[in-house]
C-alpha cells in the first residue's frame, strides 16, 4: 500500500502525523536541527510504502522507523525559492545588497504613501492570538483570497480545504509553529499572511490582500515587513516555496529543488515494486515537464488557462473611469454625501482609493457625493468625477 504525504500540508494540517513520520529534521543550510521527536508509534514499512512530496532539498530527514531494511529514493521535482537571511546582518544590508537606491526609495515611499492615506496599523500574531480575533481573521482571509484570485481569473487550491487550515491555525500560532501577519486599516484587515515556522525557518505559505488597495503595493509592503520581523526574531531562512511570481524573482537570493522521498522496505518484493513503479512514473513525468518548459509550452498553457478561467469567473465587469475636475465647481451645493463604508457602496472603494493614491489625500479628509449615475470625490486639493461603464 502506498501512503502519500505532502510535507508542508502535513506540517500545517496534520501536525500529529507530521511528528509520527519523523524523529529528526536537520537544515543543512543553517547546520541546525529543526526539531526532534520520540513518538511511541512508528511507520510500518513492512506493510506500507511512503511517498513524501514537496520536501525542500536542504532538509535532511530521519524517518520514524526501527526497520534496518528501510531505503529512500530521492527525486528532484519543482524549483523553490528562498532568502538566506544568514548572509545579511539586518534588513538594511539585505536591501542594499539586492536592490538599487531607486528601488529602496520606492519601497520606503510605498509605506509612507499608504500611511498618509489611511490610518494603517501592523500586527504579528506569534505565540498568542485571541480566539475571537482569530475567528474573524480566518473568516475574512478566504474571502480576500477568493476576490483576489477571481480578479486574476484563477482558482486557489486552499479554498477547497479551508476548514482544515482554520481548525489547525489557532494552535499553530499559539504554539509558535506559525505566525500571522496582519495589516489593518481602521481596524479592518486589508492584508493577511499565514506562515508556518520550523525552528529558524519561516515558510511564506499563504498570503493575500484586499484588492481595493491594489494601487498601494501592499504585497511589497507586507513582504518587507515580514523580512524585518525575520531579522528581529533571528529567523535564518525565509522560504517562499513554489510558484512563479514576479515578486519572488526580485526578492529571493537562492533557488533549490523540492524533492519527493519514496520510503520502502528493501526486503519486500511488493514494497520494492511499488517504489520502483512510482520512481519510474515520476521521473518520466518530470522529464516531460522539463521538455515542455524548454519549448515554453507551460507559459502558453497558463496564459490560455488564465484567460479561460477569467472569462468564466467574470463574464461581465463594471469598470470605473476617474477624471480630475475643477475643484471650484458649484455642484456640491446641491448634492448629498454618501458613506462608502456602507456595504451598498462597497463597489466604489477601489476607484476612490485609486484616486486617493494619486492625489495623496487622507481618507479622513475626503467626501464622496452622488451625482445622478456618477460620483464625485472631493479632497482637500483635488476633485475627481467617477463614472461607470459596462465592459464585456
Instruction: Convert the pLDDT of each residue in 51-86 to its tens digit.
Output: 999 999 999 998 888 778 889 999 998 889 999 999
Q: Which of 107, 140, 59, 109 is nearest to 227 (CA)?
A: 107
Q: Last residue of a domain, which of 271, 298, 325?
A: 298
pLDDT: is 314 or 368 the higher one? 368
Q: Using the predicted structure, report yes or no on whether residue 317 has a pLDDT greater than 60.
A: no
Residues 6+ positions from 137 with CB-CB distance below 8 Å: 180, 182, 189, 192
Compute the Cα dihedral for 260, 266, 268, 269 and give only its sign: positive
- Asked whether residue 107 falls in the same domain as residue 128, the answer is yes
Domain count, the chain: 3
Q: Last residue of a domain, which of 254, 275, 307?
A: 254
How confident is the model at residue 318, as a pLDDT? 63
* Within-domain flag for 311: no
* Within-domain flag for 383: yes
Query: What is the pLDDT confidence band of residue 19, given thresholds at 50, 70 and 90?
Result: confident
C-alpha cell of residue 8: 508542508
- Asked whether residue 158 falls in the same domain as residue 88, the answer is yes
Summarize pLDDT for 172-203 with one digit per residue, the tens: 999 999 999 999 999 999 999 999 998 889 99
- Asked whether residue 123 falls in the same domain as residue 234, the answer is yes
How confident is the model at residue 328, as a pLDDT? 66
Q: Using the predicted structure, report yes or no on whether residue 230 has a pLDDT greater than 90.
A: yes
Over residues 319-335, the mean pLDDT reads 78
Residues 6+ positions from 108 with CB-CB distance below 8 Å: none
pLDDT: is 308 or 27 the higher one? 27
Compute the residue count for the chain: 392
* Within-domain flag for 97: yes
- Asked whether residue 375 falls in the same domain as residue 234, the answer is no
Q: The domain containing residue 342 runs over which residues?
A: 317-391
How confident is the model at residue 240, as a pLDDT? 92
* Within-domain flag for 342: yes
Residue in the structure block whose three cell numbers are 454618501:
338
Compute the Cα dihedral for 153, 159, 165, 167 and give only its sign: positive
* Within-domain flag for 118: yes
- Asked whether residue 124 falls in the same domain as residue 32, the answer is no
Q: Using the predicted structure, report yes or no on whether residue 101 has a pLDDT greater than 60.
A: yes
Summarize pLDDT for 37-50 with one digit per residue, the tens: 777 778 878 788 99
Least confident range of 80-89, 265-274, 287-296, 353-362: 287-296
* Within-domain flag for 44: yes
How would you class 253 by CB atoms within 10 Å of its CB: exposed for 0-12, middle for 13-18, buried for 19 or more?
A: middle
Least confident range of 121-125, 143-147, 152-156, 316-320: 316-320
- Asked whether residue 101 falls in the same domain as residue 193, the answer is yes
Q: Using the predicted structure, report yes or no on whether residue 229 has a pLDDT greater than 90.
A: yes
pLDDT above 90 as % of the chain: 52
Q: Using the predicted structure, report yes or no on whether residue 150 has a pLDDT greater than 90.
A: no
Average of per-residue pLDDT values in the chain: 86
- Asked whether residue 198 falls in the same domain as residue 146, the answer is yes
- Asked whether residue 72 falls in the same domain as residue 87, the answer is no
- Asked whether residue 384 falls in the same domain as residue 240, the answer is no
Query: What is the pLDDT confidence band of residue 293, given thresholds at 50, 70 and 90?
Result: low
Q: Using the predicted structure, report yes or no on whether residue 301 has a pLDDT greater than 60.
A: no
Q: Using the predicted structure, report yes or no on whether residue 391 has a pLDDT greater than 50.
A: no
Query: What is the pLDDT confidence band of residue 11, given thresholds at 50, 70 and 90?
Result: confident
- Asked whether residue 132 falls in the same domain as residue 203, the answer is yes
Q: Which of 180, 177, 202 is nearest to 136 (CA)?
A: 180
Residues 6+ positions from 300 with CB-CB distance below 8 Å: none
* Within-domain flag for 308: no
pLDDT: is 74 or 152 the higher one? 74
Q: Cβ of 339: how many Cβ atoms within 10 Å?
A: 8
C-alpha cell of residue 392: 464585456
- Asked whether residue 249 falls in the same domain as residue 260, the answer is no
- 22 touches 37 (CB < 8 A): yes
pLDDT: is 3 or 13 the higher one? 3
Query: What is the pLDDT confidence band of residue 316, given thresholds at 50, 70 and 90?
Result: very low
How confident is the model at residue 389, as a pLDDT? 65
Least confident range of 118-127, 246-255, 369-378: 246-255
Q: Which SS3 state, helix, strand or coil, does residue 155 take?
A: coil
Query: What is the pLDDT confidence band of residue 281, given thresholds at 50, 70 and 90?
Result: confident
How confident is the model at residue 319, as a pLDDT? 76
* Within-domain flag for 306: no
Q: Using the predicted structure, report yes or no on whether residue 304 has a pLDDT greater than 70.
A: no
- Asked whether residue 98 falls in the same domain as residue 194, the answer is yes
**For residues 267 and 292, what is the distance between their CA atoms, to the nearest angstrom?**
37
**For residues 6 and 201, what is the distance between their CA atoms, to the nearest angstrom?**
18
**CATH of residue 104:** 3.40.630.30
Amino acid at each position: 500500500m502506498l501512503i502519500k504525504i505532502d510535507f508542508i500540508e502535513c506540517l500545517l494540517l496534520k501536525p500529529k502525523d507530521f511528528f509520527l513520520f519523523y524523529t529528526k529534521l536537520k537544515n543543512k543550510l543553517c547546520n541546525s536541527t529543526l526539531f526532534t521527536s520520540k513518538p511511541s508509534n512508528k511507520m510500518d514499512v513492512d506493510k506500507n510504502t511512503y511517498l513524501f512530496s514537496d520536501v525542500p532539498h536542504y532538509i535532511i530527514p530521519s524517518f520514524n522507523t526501527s526497520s534496518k531494511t528501510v531505503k529512500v529514493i530521492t527525486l528532484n521535482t519543482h524549483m523553490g525559492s528562498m532568502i538566506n537571511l544568514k548572509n545579511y546582518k539586518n534588513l538594511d544590508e539585505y536591501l542594499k545588497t539586492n536592490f538599487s537606491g531607486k528601488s529602496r526609495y520606492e519601497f520606503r515611499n510605498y509605506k509612507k504613501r499608504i500611511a498618509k492615506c489611511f490610518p494603517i496599523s501592523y500586527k504579528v500574531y506569534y505565540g498568542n492570538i485571541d480566539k475571537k480575533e482569530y475567528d474573524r481573521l480566518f473568516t475574512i482571509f478566504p474571502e480576500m483570497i477568493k476576490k483576489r484570485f477571481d480578479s486574476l481569473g484563477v482558482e486557489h487550491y486552499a479554498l477547497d480545504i479551508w476548514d482544515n487550515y482554520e481548525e489547525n491555525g489557532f494552535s499553530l500560532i499559539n504554539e509558535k509553529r506559525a505566525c500571522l501577519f496582519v495589516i489593518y486599516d481602521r481596524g479592518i484587515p486589508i492584508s493577511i499572511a499565514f506562515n508556518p515556522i520550523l525552528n529558524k525557518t519561516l515558510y511564506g505559505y499563504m498570503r493575500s490582500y484586499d484588492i481595493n488597495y491594489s494601487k498601494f503595493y501592499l504585497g511589497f509592503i507586507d513582504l518587507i515587513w515580514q523580512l524585518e520581523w525575520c531579522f528581529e526574531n533571528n529567523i535564518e531562512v525565509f522560504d517562499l516555496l513554489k510558484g512563479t511570481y514576479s515578486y519572488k524573482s526580485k526578492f529571493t537570493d537562492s533557488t533549490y529543488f523540492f524533492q519527493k522521498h519514496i520510503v520502502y522496505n528493501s526486503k519486500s518484493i511488493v514494497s520494492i515494486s511499488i517504489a520502483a513503479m512510482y520512481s519510474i512514473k515520476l521521473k518520466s513525468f518530470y522529464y516531460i515537464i522539463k521538455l515542455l518548459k524548454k519549448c515554453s509550452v507551460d507559459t502558453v498553457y497558463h496564459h490560455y488557462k488564465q484567460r479561460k478561467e477569467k472569462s468564466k469567473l467574470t463574464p461581465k465587469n463594471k469598470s470605473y473611469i476617474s477624471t480630475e475636475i475643477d475643484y471650484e465647481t458649484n455642484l456640491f451645493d446641491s448634492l448629498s454625501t454618501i458613506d462608502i463604508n456602507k456595504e451598498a457602496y462597497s463597489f466604489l472603494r477601489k476607484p476612490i482609493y485609486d484616486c486617493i493614491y494619486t492625489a495623496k489625500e487622507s481618507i479622513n479628509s475626503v467626501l464622496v457625493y452622488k451625482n445622478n449615475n456618477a460620483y464625485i470625490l472631493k479632497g482637500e486639493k483635488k476633485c475627481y468625477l467617477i463614472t461607470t461603464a459596462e465592459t464585456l
